[in-house]
Amino acid sequence: MTLTAPVVPAVRVASIPAGHPYVRQVLAGSGVRVLPDPLPPGAPDGRWWPPVMCDAGWVAANADRFDVMHVHFGTESYPAWHLRSLVRALRTAGRPLVYTLHDLENPQLTDQTLHLEQLDVLVRAADELVTLTAGAAAEIRRRWGRTAEVIAHPHLLPFDAPAPVGTGSDTYVIGVHLRDIRPGTDAVRAVATLLDAVDRLCAQGVAASARVHVNERVRDEAARDRVAALVTGHRAAELRRGERLDDDALARSIADLDVAVLPYRAGTHSGWAELCWDLGVPVAGPPVGYAGEQHPEDFAVFDMGDGGALAHAVRKLLLAAPRPGSAARAQRTADRRRRRMADAAAITAAHTALYERVLSRTEKAA
């Protein structure tokens, strides 16, 4: 008689959201079934926010379609009472909640009051917590007495896309991408600090220049105009202002830099730092959150407003950084892609084990 191994059904996850690149990457190849994002009323195809699944009514109506809910992003769309009702609905349905705490401070918000209320709801209610760095996990433990599993951020540059190595330049190009100047971006001070640092580097005999990228359409037009005025009046600076860069153009623009500067005033972790690491570009950033823990060997800290500190950070990073367009930069990106591929399997396995663990506890408690 031939014995057949039992068929184990795939775990079904209601991920909030499902369509975000982070979610797709951490579960790539896992066999986990992720429910697609329901289209919000009136939203164009492909837009997941405000997340429809983040709702008690949706949970009650769809509890038979998923085994576990995993919240990542998008809760700022709702008041704290809405999340409390979501938690009650999950408890009633017997569905566990996993919460990845990406942001102890929400960079999309100026006033953090709502975000802090939401953290209190979700962190206390979650059956399992995840975060990206040991520093964030320690802060979660101090503030809520909860243990969060640390699972590193996945790659951002797709494995099936070529890794641009940049174009060489006569000067060391120190760049900052302001994008649409969201609330967590300290655009004017970041650019002023960068220009001061470039002046100091040039005075020290380092051939340096500044490159500032900003979208044409921004959330803070006054800040964009002040940035433009600062850059226009500087002899070693260039402003690149235009439409939002697509993923390929964005990767090429970062690859052209010798050092990337983070313009943050608020936040916890940085997807930008991850993309820079994929591209072999070192990062200088202010002491905001725990971005410096993500790739500490490739990160130097400076205080916003202190051009001398940024100049020192840049010099430190340049010592070990291969130039854009060089064979050494190409080798660095290739080496990092191999490391990312190995890490991807471990990140996916950690998430799969997390779901199995929380579901096992739920079944035992039933």
Each domain of the chain, given as residue ranges in start order, spans: 12-156+344-365, 172-325
AA identity, residue 92: T
**Structure-token pair, residue 36:** 């697609």
Question: Which residues lie closer than 8 Å to 221 by C-beta, 6 or more apart?
Answer: none
**Residue 312 confidence (pLDDT) above 90:** yes
Comparing CA positions, the residue from 323, 177, 322, 338 lying closest to residue 264 is: 177
Rounded percentage of the chain residues whose pLDDT exceeds 90: 93
**Residue 225 confidence (pLDDT) above 60:** yes
Give the per-residue pLDDT at 285: 98
Task: Record the pTM.
Answer: 0.95
Give the per-residue pLDDT at 147: 98
Confidence of residue 338 (pLDDT cuts 50, 70, 90): very high
Give the per-residue pLDDT at 45: 86
Q: If one looks up domain 12-156+344-365 in CATH, what number appears?
A: 3.40.50
Q: For residue range 256-274, list pLDDT tens digits in order.
A: 999 999 999 999 999 999 9
Any long-range contacts for 109-113 (C-beta under 8 Å, 24+ apart)?
109/76, 109/183, 109/184, 110/183, 112/266
12-156+344-365 and 172-325 share one fold: yes
**Residue 286 confidence (pLDDT) above 50:** yes
Q: For residue range 30-64, list pLDDT tens digits in order.
A: 999 999 999 999 999 889 999 999 999 999 999 99
Q: Which CATH number fits domain 172-325: 3.40.50.620, 3.40.50.2000, 3.90.79.10, 3.40.50.10470?
A: 3.40.50.2000
Question: Which residues lie closer than 8 Å to 160 by C-beta, 6 or more apart?
Answer: none
Other CB atoms within a 10 A radius of the CB of residue 58 amount to 17
Q: CA–CA separation, 129 vs 137, rounded Å?
A: 9
**Residue 4 confidence (pLDDT) above 80:** no
Q: For residue range 142-201, list pLDDT tens digits in order.
A: 999 999 999 999 999 999 988 999 999 999 999 999 999 999 999 999 999 999 999 999
Averaged pLDDT for residues 111-115: 96
Mean pLDDT of the chain: 95
Q: How far is CA 256 from CA 135, 180, 285, in A?
A: 31, 20, 18
- What string of DSSP letters covers 312-333? HHHHHHHTTPPPTTSHHHHHHH
